[in-house]
A and B are shown apart, each in its own frame.
Chain A
């Protein structure tokens, strides 16, 4: 997940909303078989999966400040491209800068005055104006990461036999962390995380270019600063308090977001006082939230919180209730302009197929594992 601010207001963006969404739809390709604009050789792709966002910024796809506003500075340093199959590289090397499909999206959102819950922190995150426009991106490592998953699922099946491990569901295949299989996977997974950081970084570059083109001015003048970028499907070795003792543990945030408190050593100076920005995505009809990490998350949930509202209805059930074309018209009436590569795919993502985002935020807020800062209301959406 990645969130970017602008200094534009809804009033300024609204007349150009369609042009803006259409531009994003073209420049950030989505759906089946989409190719990204970054033409990387195999050697360059190996550098990308080793260096993540750092590679992008060094090659002109971003600003220096973007890196410190990314979880782990956009680069997991234990990545080893040698642990990744040729197949994964072949599958992923042309997907840099693509959105994907399913629940992936690029959304233009509005900050309503009544939806700012913590003025002070919102300001520190770059959100100071009512009616301010921000952009949110949800996508990951694309086919590359999934091929790594597929490859290691099979490797782990063999490893489980070797180490005498049995699991209830074969999808939960695993290996001891210190085994050669476990270590290889940990290094390959880091390559996937770096690809995801890089993918969102080059997409941010395209977003800045798109806004710049539509509003005839520089992205710098539009103050298109990144708020933050968080992974929500990653495993990391971290230090936590367990039963009163400091311990190194593997925290696996699958469908979960890191939510570090103020003064955590991993946070950049910019967010030392506030705590880590947390982005929780809702459905494309109802809105998303920007929150901040808390000490309670550190104490109780290994510095983690929710990552999204979560589905409440299957994709098939959603498609029985509404057709994509109808949903697109209904959303436009509500002031949300949406472009999608697949109409059945759009129907699957209807707002009613998801839990109420306000309930999800209430839950994490009452549990104290993250604190709401701003609610963001959608007005434009590119759907994979």
Chain B
């Protein structure tokens, strides 16, 4: 078992999508992989050292397919960024598998303030290009390309 790789939360893939940004996110559990995918999005949006966890936002989603659930989850983060003017620092996710996958998430972050936060990419959308959720031997892996 590659322990070093298991500890890695996410990795940006260079030269996969020239005009966009691609990443892989990992987790020992499905929940952890979702949280790490969100973390990659947060990291792209702002320097996380400059973002405080001052406010919480909660939401719930459900879907029959796990990859569509991840797509909706990440898209919801982009929607909340623009509609609530927030940048985020961390997320807590729980997923229950009934007939459908049911997700509950809490995002922690702060109202956008360019004087306070070092802001980076204003991500436009999560794309379906190369989008994949995969269960490997010891971990879950997601491949995501975001439109910048």
Tell me which residues across on chain A come within 8 A of B127, comparing CB atoms. 171
Tell me which residues across on chain B come within 8 A of A316, comparing CB atoms. 12, 14-15, 21
Q: Closest Cβ of chain A: how far from B19's Cβ, in Å? A: 5
**Whole-angstrom CA separation of A143 from B77 in the bound complex:** 12
User: Number of A-B pairs whose CB atoms are under 8 Å?
Assistant: 102
Q: Mark B35-49, 1 if CB is under 8 A from A, else 0.
A: 000000000011000
Tell me which residues across on chain B come within 8 A of A173, comparing CB atoms. 128
A242 near B: Cβ within 8 Å? no
Would A102 and B81 count as touching, CB distance under 8 A? no
Would A342 and B119 count as touching, CB distance under 8 A? yes
B58 near A: Cβ within 8 Å? no
Q: Closest Cβ of chain B: how far from A310's Cβ, in Å? A: 8
A154 near B: Cβ within 8 Å? yes
Q: Mark A30-51, 1 if CB is under 8 A from B, else 0.
A: 0111110000000000000000
- A31-B114, A87-B79 known; A313+B119 contact, CB < 8 A: no
Q: Closest Cβ of chain A: how far from B45's Cβ, in Å? A: 6
Would B121 and A342 count as touching, CB distance under 8 A? yes
Tell me which residues across on chain B come within 8 A of A342, comparing CB atoms. 118-121
**Whole-angstrom CA separation of A342 from B148 in the bound complex:** 13
A326 near B: Cβ within 8 Å? no
Q: What's the tally of chain A residues with a CB closer than 8 Å to chain B? A: 38
Which of A's residues lie within 8 Å of B, judged by CB?
A: 31-35, 87, 90-92, 95, 100-103, 143, 146-147, 149-150, 153-154, 157, 169-171, 173, 311-317, 341-342, 344-345, 384
Tell me which residues across on chain B come within 8 A of A103, comparing CB atoms. 19
**Whole-angstrom CA separation of A153 from B128 in the bound complex:** 8
Of A92, A95, A102, A314, which one neighbours B14 at CB under 8 angstroms?
Answer: A314
Would B14 and A33 count as touching, CB distance under 8 A? no
4 smallest beta-carbon distances between A and B, as pairs? A33-B112, A170-B128, A101-B122, A171-B129
